[in-house]
């Protein structure tokens, strides 16, 4: 059974698709799965034991046509994306059965459930969504408790809490934990702001990993954490897959749909303003109160509540 799966573009969405992918794998025990999608999504899911091939997609329509033509023939094609490009790609994919996620149909539930319902309805399954699952290709162990902080958000500035507040939290917890600062190459500035604040406060037991890790490395580091403090990020969902105790700071996005899935030691910090959730990349009211009103003490109180 040859199965082709187009993953969601964003890291967090791809991690949230893993329960649905597990249900596909369990339903077709002899499946050989090819994954296509963004580089970041493929890096996160490439170690699944049934994956035999991965292919990064280019957004160019000519490139998509060539990719579809060269992939070969499949028994089933699933796309977790509903964009025009994905519909174009689907048209040229050679497969006996083709199924595509439609975000206009699957609403008012957690993103994990949206993806799982899509798969179940496509192939007539009656399976609930299990836990998030990521497969590691290496395992390390640490002796000292580790705090991870993830201050970035690739979706837009509206989702970002302030570096000084992150640093205040890290400083307060630095006597209990060594600290990892996470971030992509595009988030090095905000990570450096936190680093400089920690240095001023005399904190030395931290490592700024921003821009120094790929997704495989990030999965390995996050799996070792004893506590994670983050915004609504893709790394937040990686932490959920390893049941890392997590404080997640939400502003403009809908926590009922994108908070951690099945992590019993997870708490959301938000302010419940009338303007939330606006789902905008930048604050449309120019005050950013959904994040500005959250202070370090709010997060530290949340940390105490999940211990």
Give the residue extent of every domain in the chain.
2-123, 146-306
Q: Percent of the chain, pLDDT > 90?
A: 94
pLDDT score at 257: 96
- Give the span between the Cα atoms of 124 and 126, in whole angstroms: 7
Q: Which CATH number fits domain 146-306: 3.40.50.2000, 3.20.20.10, 2.60.40.420, 3.30.70.260?
A: 3.40.50.2000
Contact by Cβ (8 Å): 177, 227: yes
What's the start-to-end Cα distance of the chain, in Å? 45
pLDDT score at 76: 98
Mean pLDDT, rounded, of the chain: 95
Q: Which residue, 50, 234, 240, is CA-closest to 133?
A: 240
pLDDT score at 157: 82
- Give the span between the Cα atoms of 168 and 203, in whole angstroms: 11
- Mean pLDDT on 204-209: 97
53-109 tens-digit pLDDT: 999 999 999 999 999 999 999 999 999 999 999 999 999 999 999 999 999 999 999
pLDDT score at 227: 98
- Mean pLDDT on 113-127: 98
pLDDT score at 138: 60
With 70 as the cut, is the pLDDT of residue 185 above it?
A: yes
pLDDT score at 21: 98
Q: Which H, E and C letters describe the chain, residue by residue?
A: CEEEEECCCCHHHHHHCHHHHHHHHHHCCCCEEEEEECHHHHHHHCCCCCEEEEEECCCCHHHHHHHHHHCCEEEEEEECCCCHHHHHHHHHCEEEEEEECCCCCCCCCCHHHHHHHHHHHHHCCCCCCCCCCCCCCCCCCCCCCEEEEECCCCCCHHHCCCHHHHHHHHHHHCCCCEEEECCCHHHHHHHHHHHHHHHHCCCCCEEECCCCCCHHHHHHHHHCCCEEEEECCHHHHHHHHCCCCEEEECCCCCHHHHCCCCCCCEEEECCCCCCCCCCCCCCCCCCCHHHHCCCHHHHHHHHHHHC
With 60 as the cut, is the pLDDT of residue 156 above it?
A: yes
Please name every residue paired with 79 in a beta bridge, in sequence order, or none if there are none: 6, 100
The most distant pair of C-alpha atoms in the chain lies apart, rounded to whole Å, by 62
Q: How confident is the model at residue 155 (pLDDT cuts 50, 70, 90)?
A: low
Topology (CATH level 3) of domain 2-123 = Rossmann fold (3.40.50)
- Give the span between the Cα atoms of 291 and 270, in whole angstroms: 8
Q: Do 146-306 and 2-123 fall under one CATH topology?
A: yes
26-51 tens-digit pLDDT: 999 999 999 999 999 999 999 999 99
With 60 as the cut, is the pLDDT of residue 139 above it?
A: no
With 80 as the cut, is the pLDDT of residue 137 above it?
A: no
224-274 tens-digit pLDDT: 999 999 999 999 999 999 999 999 999 999 999 999 999 999 999 999 999
pLDDT score at 234: 94
With 60 as the cut, is the pLDDT of residue 278 above it?
A: yes
């Amino acid at each position: 059974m040859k199965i082709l799966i187009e993953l969601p573009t964003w890291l967090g969405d791809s991690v949230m698709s893993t329960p649905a992918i597990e249900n596909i794998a369990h339903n077709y025990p002899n499946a050989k799965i090819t994954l296509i999608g963004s580089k970041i999504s493929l890096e996160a899911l490439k170690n699944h034991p049934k994956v035999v091939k991965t292919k990064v997609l280019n957004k160019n329509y000519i490139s998509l046509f060539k990719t579809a033509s060269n992939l070969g023939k499949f028994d089933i094609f699933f796309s977790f994306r509903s964009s025009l490009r994905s519909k174009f790609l689907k048209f040229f994919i050679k497969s006996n059965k083709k199924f595509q996620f439609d975000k206009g149909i699957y609403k008012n539930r957690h993103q994990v459930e949206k993806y799982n319902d899509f798969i179940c309805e496509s192939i007539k399954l009656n399976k609930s969504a299990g836990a998030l699952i990521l497969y590691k290709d290496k395992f390390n162990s640490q002796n000292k408790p580790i705090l991870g902080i993830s201050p970035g958000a690739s979706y837009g500035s509206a989702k970002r809490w302030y570096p000084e507040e992150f640093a205040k939290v890290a400083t307060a917890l630095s006597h209990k934990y060594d600290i990892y600062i996470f971030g992509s190459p595009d988030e090095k500035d905000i990570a450096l702001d936190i680093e400089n604040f920690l240095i001023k406060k005399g904190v030395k037991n931290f490592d700024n990993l921003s821009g120094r890790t790929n997704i495989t490395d990030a999965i390995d580091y996050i799996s070792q954490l004893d506590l994670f403090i983050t915004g609504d990020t893709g790394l937040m969902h990686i932490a959920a897959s390893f049941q890392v105790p997590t404080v997640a700071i939400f502003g403009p996005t809908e926590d009922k749909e994108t908070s951690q899935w099945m992590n019993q030691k997870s708490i959301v910090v938000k302010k419940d303003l009338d303007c939330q959730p606006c789902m905008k990349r930048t604050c449309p009211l120019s005050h950013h109160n959904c994040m500005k009103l959250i202070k370090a003490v709010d997060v530290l109180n949340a940390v105490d509540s999940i211990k």
